[in-house]
Amino acid sequence: MTLLSSGGMTGQLIRDELRQSGGNLVFPDSTTRWLADKPTGSVILPTDYYSKAAVKQVFASSFTGSGATWNVTVDLGIDFPGRRFVVCIGALAAANASQVLVVGPNTLASQTLTLGPGQAWFNVSRNVTGGILYSAANAVTGTSGTLHIVFNQSVIRFRAVVYAISNIGTLFSSNQNGSASATSTSTTVNVDTNGVVVAMGFKEQATAMTLTGVVEDSEALVGGTLDMVTGWQNRLASQTGRSIGVSGNAAADIIGLAAVSFGT
């Protein structure tokens, strides 16, 4: 869900989007600037809040290199109280003799990331992995920081997509699925009242992908022929077994999917 795209807008609508149960809204402060995407200058009501959402993709990039440990500088956006980060990653390993796994310790701006769901697959020619990590609320500060990810073997391609989310609670539900040879896969997650779902998928030998059950907002090649897609859905009603799916073009190959949900 996002805020209205036109017309009048009340402070309660903005507070609901931010999941603030009470307290005053200040225009501007760090929280209202973050929601309006206005780090400096005047904040204008209601126009700066049209179509804004309290889930923001603050960073997305792919990298080439070689090593089991990856350190990349990522944008974190405006720092504000109640911020939590969700990080989606994908990687292609140098060797294909065994699964490439995220082993950690993994951090964002020197703060521990919890490893959530993910998939790792290998076959005679490829070895890929993907998954979701998340920070504790209010743990990560600043407008940029180092994302530190450790694998069990050398990785030659790496992609990270980082989301900042306002006032979500601890992990409510997570799930994953995948295959060493398929064109699609699916899973389900339970959703809490006023919940947020974040999902990511990846497929080898693909140049186009579709993510369902969330609003897709990022797709790019991790490197070579490994495609990765991410998306989210905000302020959902309580739900059991929300379906999340991913599909990719080209022939059947390695495909994976991970999804998480957070409550208030």
pLDDT of residue 209: 96
Question: How far apart are the C-alpha atoms of 122 and 256, rounded to whole Å?
Answer: 11
pLDDT of residue 1: 66
- Residues in the chain with pLDDT values less than 70: 1
The CA–CA distances, whole Å, from 60 to 166, 220, 247 equal 19, 9, 21
Q: Could you tell me the pTM of the whole model?
A: 0.97
CA 119, 122, 124: angle at the middle one, nearest 5? 165
Is the bond preceding residue 39 a cis peptide, omega within 30 degrees?
Answer: no
Question: How far apart are the C-alpha atoms of 153 and 4, rounded to whole Å?
Answer: 47
pLDDT of residue 234: 95
pLDDT of residue 5: 96
Burial class for 124, CB neighbours closer than 10 Å (0-12, 13-18, 19+): exposed
The DSSP bridge partners found for residue 70 are 149
Looking at residue 237, what DSSP letter applies?
P
Question: How far apart are the C-alpha atoms of 143 and 52, rounded to whole Å?
Answer: 20
pLDDT of residue 210: 97
109 φψ region: left (φ > 0), alpha (ψ -120 to 50), beta (else): left
Dihedral sign for Cα 160, 112, 68, 173, please: negative
Please report where in the chains the tokens 């603050």 appear, as a residue. 58
Q: Which helix (H) or strand (E) holds 118?
A: strand 114-122
3-class secondary structure, 182: strand
pLDDT of residue 149: 98
> Do the beta carbons of residue 142 and residue 76 sit within 8 Å?
yes
pLDDT of residue 236: 96
State the chain's maximal CA–CA distance in angstroms.
Answer: 59
Those residues whose C-beta lies under 8 Å from the C-beta of residue 167, and which sit 6 or more positions away, are 18, 19, 20, 54, 82, 137, 264
pLDDT of residue 67: 96
Token duo for residue 211: 């993510």
